[in-house]
């Protein structure tokens, strides 16, 4: 990222404990997989936090029981909760965004290393947009993409955190925001022209079944007030699954909750 002048957290991929001793990163650390399947389905965690080098050694040794050598990344932990996380979502083609949406993740589940957003709002952020488009142009990307950045209050910089070369959980927010990503991709695939568009800021999305436990924990920790929670749900809001016009998917999701909790810790 240094070649593109895009800030990013310091990262390394040690192969052995000896490599781990050589890393030039101060605690706390994030230990996470470069390949999701092996680690995630064994631990049901997106990442682990290590507050010291000793704890990092212990967790790295444990992680190597689930992942192959070179699959685990050690990264500096950027402080801050979900509110510091932003996403640049786009249908990108020929060095430009055909459709784009910047969103701020206000709540996530689990709280520290969220596997998914539970409550997001569309916003506008020039720095997030510029960094993301610079990166995508460099790799000549084509398709739907979500670029994640996290604001680091220590140096007031947005840092490139993750890139998902696929659809993302809250892509349906694009429809009321004026950027129907799925339809635009369909148009492109059948050879129809797509008019450039950007999302309207200030629109919200929630996945209630995961936002409820996330909000409950934030309330218990004093990070969210009860009145603030209910205010966040007032007015027009897009629900991830449940819709009164077609309630069956929402009902099925609720019925599947025990299975999801067993299979992946939900």
The reported pLDDT for the residue numbered 200 is: 96
> Does residue 11 contact residue 47 with C-beta atoms inside 8 Å?
no
Q: Does domain 2-76 have CATH number 3.30.1490?
A: yes
The separation between CA 106 and the C-alpha centre of its own chain, rounded to angstroms, equals 11
Instruction: Identify the CATH assignment for 82-206 out of 3.40.1550.10, 3.30.470.20, 3.40.50.460, 3.90.1150.10.
Output: 3.30.470.20
| pTM of the full structure | 0.91
In the chain, which residues fall in CATH 3.30.1490? 2-76
> Does residue 215 contact residue 208 with C-beta atoms inside 8 Å?
no
Span 160-191, pLDDT tens digits: 989 999 899 999 999 999 999 999 999 999 99
**Per-residue pLDDT averaged across 138-150, rounded?**
97
Q: What are φ and ψ of residue 24, in 5° steps?
A: -105, 60
Kindly tell me if the per-residue pLDDT of 208 is higher than 90: yes
Based on the number of CB atoms within 10 Å of its own CB, is 153 exposed (0-12), middle (13-18) or buried (19 or more)?
Answer: exposed
- C-alpha 264/C-alpha 115 separation (Å) is 10
User: Which of 114, 106, 78, 254 lies closest to 173, judged by CA?
Assistant: 106
Please report which confidence band the pLDDT of residue 266 belongs to, taking 50, 70 and 90 as the band edges. low
Degrees, nearest 5: CA angle 185-34-51:
125
Span 42-78, pLDDT tens digits: 888 889 999 999 999 999 999 999 888 788 999 999 9
CB atoms within 10 A of CB 217: 15
> Does residue 209 contact residue 254 with C-beta atoms inside 8 Å?
yes
The reported pLDDT for the residue numbered 244 is: 86
- C-alpha 266/C-alpha 263 separation (Å) is 8
Please report which confidence band the pLDDT of residue 34 belongs to, taking 50, 70 and 90 as the band edges. confident
Instruction: Determine what percent of the chain is predicted with pLDDT higher than 90.
Output: 73
- C-alpha 214/C-alpha 98 separation (Å) is 34
Kindly tell me if the per-residue pLDDT of 260 is higher than 80: no
**Per-residue pLDDT averaged across 250-255, rounded?**
90
Based on the number of CB atoms within 10 Å of its own CB, is 38 exposed (0-12), middle (13-18) or buried (19 or more)?
Answer: middle
Please report which confidence band the pLDDT of residue 263 belongs to, taking 50, 70 and 90 as the band edges. low
Span 105-139, pLDDT tens digits: 999 998 888 888 999 999 999 999 999 999 999 99
In the chain, which residues fall in CATH 3.30.470.20? 82-206
């Amino acid at each position: 990222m240094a070649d593109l002048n895009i800030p990013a957290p310091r990262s390394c991929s040690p192969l052995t404990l000896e490599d781990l001793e050589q890393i030039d990163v101060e605690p706390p650390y994030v230990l996470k997989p470069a390949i999701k399947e092996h680690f995630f389905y064994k631990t049901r965690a997106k990442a682990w936090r290590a507050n010291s080098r000793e704890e990092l050694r212990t967790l790295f040794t444990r992680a190597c029981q689930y992942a192959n050598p070179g699959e685990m990344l050690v990264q500096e932990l950027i402080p801050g909760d979900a509110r510091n996380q932003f996403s640049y979502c786009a249908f990108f083609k020929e060095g430009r965004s055909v459709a784009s949406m910047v969103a701020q993740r206000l709540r996530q589940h689990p709280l520290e290393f969220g596997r998914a957003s539970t409550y997001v709002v569309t916003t506008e952020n020039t720095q997030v947009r510029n960094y993301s488009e610079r990166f995508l142009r460099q790799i000549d990307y084509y398709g739907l993409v979500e670029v994640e950045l996290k604001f680091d209050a220590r140096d007031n910089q947005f840092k490139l955190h993750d890139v998902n070369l696929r659809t993302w959980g809250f892509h349906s927010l694009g429809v009321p925001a004026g950027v129907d990503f799925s339809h635009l991709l369909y148009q492109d695939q059948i050879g129809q022209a797509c008019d450039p568009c950007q999302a309207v800021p200030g629109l919200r999305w929630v996945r209630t079944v995961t936002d409820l436990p996330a909000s409950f924990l934030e309330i218990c920790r004093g990070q969210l007030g009860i009145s603030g929670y209910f205010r966040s749900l007032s007015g027009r809001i897009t629900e991830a699954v449940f819709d009164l016009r077609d309630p069956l998917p929402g009902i099925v999701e609720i019925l599947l909750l025990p299975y999801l909790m067993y299979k992946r810790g939900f």
